[in-house]
Structure 1
Amino acid sequence: MLDKINTRKALYEIAWRKPISRIVEEYGVTYRDFKKLCDDNQIPLPENGYWSKLKFGKPVVRVELPIGISENIKIELRVSKQAKEIQNVKSKFKNPRQIHPLVVKTKKYLINTNSYRASVFQAQHPKNLEILPIQTDSKLQKRALSFMNLLLSHMEERGMSIVFEYQGCYAELYNQTIKINLRQKYHRVKILDELSWPYQEYVKSEKLEFQIGSHAPKNWLDTNRRIIEERIPEILDNVEENLTYWRDIRKQQAIDEEKRRILEEKEKDIAREKALEQEKKTELFINAKNWKKAKNLRKYIKRVEEKESVNNQFDAKTIEWINWANEKADEIDPLT
C-alpha cells in the first residue's frame, strides 16, 4: 500500500525515507514533476551519494524541514493510473478470454516456418506478411504470443490498433504510427579462441525485450524484479505519449502550413494589386502624353488649314490631308 501524501510534512518524510527513483516509480510521476513539487514547497532533498552512504553505514546529514511554510499545508501527490495498474497487475492483467486473430495467424506462421527459430540477428521479419513481429526461439514462443495477446487486448481498450506498413508492424493512434517489436534478448560475450584471439559471440537469454520506435528504439526488458507483462501499462502510456506528441506536432505543422498558405495568398494579392496599380499608373501617364500629342497635333492641323486658306490653296488635296491628319490625332487621343 502506498503512503498517502497530502501535506508538506508527509512529502518531506517520504523524500527522506526512500530514493526518488523508487518514489517516482511507485507513484507513477516523473522525476521533474516530483522535484518541482518539492521545490515549490521548500522540501530539501538528500544530496548525491546519501543513500549509498546510508547503505554502508557511513555518517549522513538529514536536512531539517525549513520552517518558512507550515508543515501542514495541503499538497497533493496523486498516484497515477499507471502506478495503480502496476500495483494490481496480477489481478488486472489476466489473459483475455479470446485469442486475438493476429496472434492466431502469427502462431500458425511460426509453427510452419523456421525463420524465428534462429538467433535474433538471423531472424528477419517476413516481408509482405501481416503477422506480429516475434523473434524468439521455440522455448519462449508461447510466452511471446501470450504477451502479444495481452498487449493487443489492452491496446484496443485504449483505442489503439495494429497496422502493417513499410514491411513492418506498427501501433496506430490518432492516425500516427510507431513501430513495435518483441524479441528474445541476446547478450554479446567476449570469447578467446584456441590462439587466444578474442571474438564476440551472441548468447541468448531467457528474457523477452519489447521495443517501440525505428531509430534508437525504447526498450522494456525482463528483470529480476519485473517481467515485461507487468509493464504493459507503462509501455502503452509511452506509446500513447509518443503518438500524441506526433499528432500535436503534425497538427501544429498543418496549422503553420495553412498560415503560410494564407500569407502567400496575401502576398500574391498584394503583388497583384501593386502590379495593377503600376499598370494603371503607366496607362495614365501614356494617355496623358498621347492626349497632349493629339492636342498639339490638332493645333498644327488648324494652323496648316489657316495657312492654306490665306494662300488660296485650300483644295481637295488639302482637305484630304486634313481629314487624314485628324484621324491620326483621333487614334492617339484617349478621350475620343
Structure 2
Amino acid sequence: MQLTRFELYQRVCDRPLSKVAPELGISGTALAAICKRYQVPYPGSGYWTRMSLGLPAELPALPEAPDETIEITPSTPKPRRKRAPEEGSARKTRRAAKPHRPARHPLLFGVEEHLRKTRDVKDGEFLRPYKRILPDLISSETALLRVLSIANDLCLALDEQGYRVQIAPAADDLHRIHVKEQEVERKDRKYGRYQSGSIWAPDRPTVSMSTRCQSDSLSPR
C-alpha cells in the first residue's frame, strides 16, 4: 500500500496506532517506526484518553518535509517449524535428567525447633540443646537461621554430587575432630564456661556417604 506523508498523518491522527496498523497489515510497533522515519507525528495515549472523556486535546502538527510516497508492505508471519518427534523426545529426556532441587534437605526437617530447646545460655554463647541425636551444627541463637541455611545449601550440593548426608549409625563408632571455638585463644573462655567444660556436641557425627560407602565427617558451623 502506498500513502503520502499527509495521508498517513491523517490516518494516525484519526485513530490510535493499534487500530490503524492492522488495516495496513503491519504491527503497531512497525507503524510507529515508519512514522518516526518519515517525520509523521501521532498523538499519544493521553490524547485518546482526553478525547474519550470529552476533554479538549491538541494534535501534534505535521512538520515541513517533502511529501514523498510511503510504501507500506504487509508483514508475512514466518511459518513455525514443526519439531521432529525425535527432537521432542530428546528435549523431554534432557528435562527429566535434571531433577528438581528440593527447598530443604530431609536431614534438617524439624532441627531448628530442637536446637532452640536449649539449656540456659548467655547472649552470644552457643546453644546447648537437650536432644543429642541431631545434625552436628554449632550456633548461637542469633546466628541459627543463617547456620541452618548454610548447612542446607551444603547438604543439597553434596546430594547433587552423589553423596548422601546423614547422621552416622551408632555401630560405626565414628568421632569428629575437635574444633576450637575461638579464633584467638584467650584465658577467659567465653564460649566454654559450661558445666561440662566444652561446647555442645551430638552423640553421633554427621557424615557424607559416597557411592563407594566411604564416610567423611561433616560438621558445618
Q: Give the alignment's TM-score, normalised by structure 1.
A: 0.23
Which structure would you say has the larger RCO, counting Cα contacts within 8 Å and 6 or more residues apart? 2
Q: Greater share of strand residues, 1 or 2? A: 1
Q: Greater CA radius of gyration, 1 or 2?
A: 1
Q: Give the alignment's TM-score, normalised by structure 2.
A: 0.34
Q: Greater share of helix residues, 1 or 2? A: 1
